[in-house]
Structure 1
Amino acid sequence: MIDTDELARRNAEFVASGVFADLPLQSTGNLRVIGCVDPRVDPSIVLGLTFGDAVVMRNIGGRVTPATLRSWVMLAKVAQARRPGPPQPGGHLVVLHHTDCGIRDLAAYPEQLAEYFEIPVAELEGKAVMDPRASVAMDVELIKRALPPGLPVSGLVYDVHTGLVETVVAPTGR
């Protein structure tokens, strides 16, 4: 069991590494990732990211919901406040879904799932919660329609059994 003493010990090792020192608020590579909260699918580990490489947002299923879009808009405002002027070129937004996702189990609770997506229960089937390839493609399209242009977006599916990532939607500009 990991208790607070163990967490404090691990934190001391982290502090000794110095990896956090003088990192800017914004990620160094303008990479943004939306992924699932499933502990088997930590986007930083699965994608080989290092500290400061990306802004990683995690939620149930790694889904793009209205709340997710609102958060991305707020993060853009934070970046704008820290770095006045035009947005920095480059960057990439990655939607990362995975196999054997627990969001499939929420299909048994349609009212809660519909509330999560902020849609009527009758529209849940269109969210493809049972198919990670379909859902990641759908969420990439949502981002392309909802956010301002200029940032390439791609969709990946991580296989929890093989550890491999499949590109379902190649990076496309919007």
Structure 2
Amino acid sequence: MGIVETLTSRNADFAQTQYTEGLRMMPAMKTIVIGCVDPRVDPAAVLGARQGEIAVIRNVAGRVTPRTLEELVMLRKVSQAAGGDLGPGWELIVLQHTNCGITLIEDDQQLLAPYFETDETGLAEQAVGDPRTAIAHDVAALRGESRLQGARVSGLLYDVTTGSVDVVVPPTA
């Protein structure tokens, strides 16, 4: 059996035993987590969220890039179109992790500069090799984005060797 067959078989089981009818488009906990694509760090699993409780944006290293900010602004517009608003009462959580693969390419300025939409001199402030500093940087970017004002923003670090999460930047609006 191939990968697609395995996954669609698992989906059939999911549809019969775990599917929750009536979930809403907006996450029940009014929370968006920005996390890494690393399969060891599934934000819903790591944070114990149930289906429909949180929304997740995943990218390389779980970083808040200019593209991530645009996605969040778009999600705010979707929320407004659905009769809500991504603002007061919402949580934005940056979830990065130890032993991230991006650290293996932290010296590749030609690859990283376009990803962060900066020039090579601006890469130092991205703190690619230091997740705690990167989290603080990304939380500051979210807090400084005027189109997302009102949401509480925080930053967490997941340790891939212990499974524990540490609050690096406590939540504030």
For Structure 1 versus Structure 2, the TM-score category normalised by the shorter chain is over 0.9
What is the CA distance between 1:108 and its match in structure 2?
Answer: 3.1
Does residue 105 of structure 1 match 2:101? Answer: no
Letter in 1 for 2:90: G
**1:3-47: CA deviation from partner (whole Å, max 9, x where unpaired):** 111111110111102533111111111011000000111101101
**SS of the residue aligned with 1:64?**
coil
**8 Å Cα contact 2:94/2:139 also seen in 1:** yes
Does residue 145 of structure 1 match 2:144? Answer: yes
Q: Which runs of 5+ in 2 are unaligned?
A: none
What is the CA distance between 1:60 and its match in structure 2?
Answer: 0.4
**5 Å matches for 1:75-154?**
75-83=75-83, 89-146=88-145, 147-154=147-154
Greater CA drift, 152-161 or 101-110: 101-110
What is the CA distance between 1:82 and its match in structure 2?
Answer: 1.0
2:31 corresponding residue in structure 1: 31
Instruction: Work out the CA distance in 1 between the residues paired with 2:152 and 2:62.
Output: 18
**8 Å Cα contact 2:27/2:54 also seen in 1:** yes
Letter in 1 for 2:60: I
**SS of the residue aligned with 1:69?**
helix
Identity %: 45
1:50 corresponding residue in structure 2: 50
**SS of the residue aligned with 2:148?**
coil
Compute the TM-score of the two structures, normalised by the length of structure 2. Answer: 0.94
**SS of the residue aligned with 1:108?**
coil
What is the CA distance between 1:106 and its match in structure 2?
Answer: 1.9
Letter in 2 for 1:108: D
Q: Which runs of 5+ in 1 are unaligned?
A: none
Compute the TM-score of the two structures, normalised by the length of structure 1. Answer: 0.93
Change (3 A) 1:88 1:34: closer
2:12 corresponding residue in structure 1: 12
RMSD, matched Cα: 1.6
**1:93-126: CA deviation from partner (whole Å, max 9, x where unpaired):** 1000100001111213211101000000111111
Stretches (4+) displaced over 6 A: none
Does residue 164 of structure 1 match 2:164? Answer: yes
